[in-house]
Amino acid sequence: MKRIMIFSALALLICSTSCKKIDQLLTFTISNEDSITIPASSPLNLPIDFLTPNNTTNSSEAFSSNNTDANHVKNIYLKSLVLTITNPSNQNFNFLKSINIYISTDSSNEILLASLNTIPQNVNSIALIPTSAALDTYVKASSYNLRTQITTDQNLSQDVTVKADSKFQVTAKVL
Residue 20 has pLDDT above 70, yes or no: no
Residue 160 in any domain: the answer is: yes
Mean pLDDT computed over 155-165: 92
Between 115 and 14, residue with greater pLDDT = 115
Determine the pLDDT at residue 169.
95
Q: In CATH, what number is assigned to the domain containing residue 82?
A: 2.60.120
Residue 24 in any domain: the answer is: no
3: pLDDT confidence band, cut at 50, 70 and 90? Answer: low
Backbone φ and ψ for 92, nearest 5 degrees, come out as -125, 180
Question: Based on the structure, what is the number of domains in the chain?
Answer: 1
Residue 56 in any domain: the answer is: yes
10: pLDDT confidence band, cut at 50, 70 and 90? Answer: very low
Q: Domain containing 107: what range?
A: 29-172
Residue 18 has pLDDT above 50, yes or no: no
DSSP strand pairing (27-38 vs 160-172): antiparallel
- How many degrees, rounded to 5, is the angle at CA 83 between CA 79 and CA 88? 165
Residue 34 in any domain: the answer is: yes
Residue 138 in any domain: the answer is: yes
Find out whether the peptide bond into 130 is cis, omega within 30 degrees of 0: no
Query: CB under 8 Å to 44, separation ≥6 — which residues?
Result: 152, 153, 154, 155
Mean pLDDT computed over 15-29: 58
As a whole number of angstroms, the distance between CA 98 and CA 109 comes to 23
Mean pLDDT computed over 54-72: 79
Residue 3 in any domain: the answer is: no
Residue 68 in any domain: the answer is: yes
> CA quadruple 112, 114, 119, 124: dihedral positive or negative?
negative
For residue range 102-155, what is the model confidence (pLDDT) as tens digits?
A: 999 989 999 999 999 999 999 999 999 999 999 999 988 888 888 999 998 888
132 Ramachandran zone, left/alpha/beta (phi>0; psi -120 to 50): alpha
Residue 18 in any domain: the answer is: no
| Residues written for the chain | 175
As a whole number of angstroms, the distance between CA 170 and CA 175 comes to 15
Residue 161 has pLDDT above 80, yes or no: yes
